[in-house]
Amino acid sequence: MRNKADLIKKISLLKQKIDKCLDERDRESFNQLSLELKVCQNYLETCFTNTEVHFKKPFEQKRGKFFNH
């Protein structure tokens, strides 16, 4: 769980840095930070998705085996 919290914190900090880049009109840093933000957001989404799938799959497999036998 700590990794997710750290990742959420990093996303928040990246958004603040991106806002600063917009204020300063620093396009190069904006593009770099935006790309890093997208990667972090996708990874976070994957973490939450994998957790849900992890809990659903064993139940579905057991349920299928139970009803097939």
**Domain tally for the chain?**
1
Give the pLDDT score at 40: 93
Tell me the DSSP string of 6-38: HHHHHHHHHHHHHHHHHHHT-HHHHHHHHHHHH
Range of the domain at 50: 2-68
Q: What distances in angstroms separate CA 36 from CA 4, 10, 18, 42, 51, one per listed residue?
A: 16, 10, 10, 10, 23
Question: How do residues 18-65 score in pLDDT, each as one tens digit?
Answer: 999 999 999 999 999 999 999 999 988 888 887 554 444 444 444 444
pTM of the entire structure?
0.66
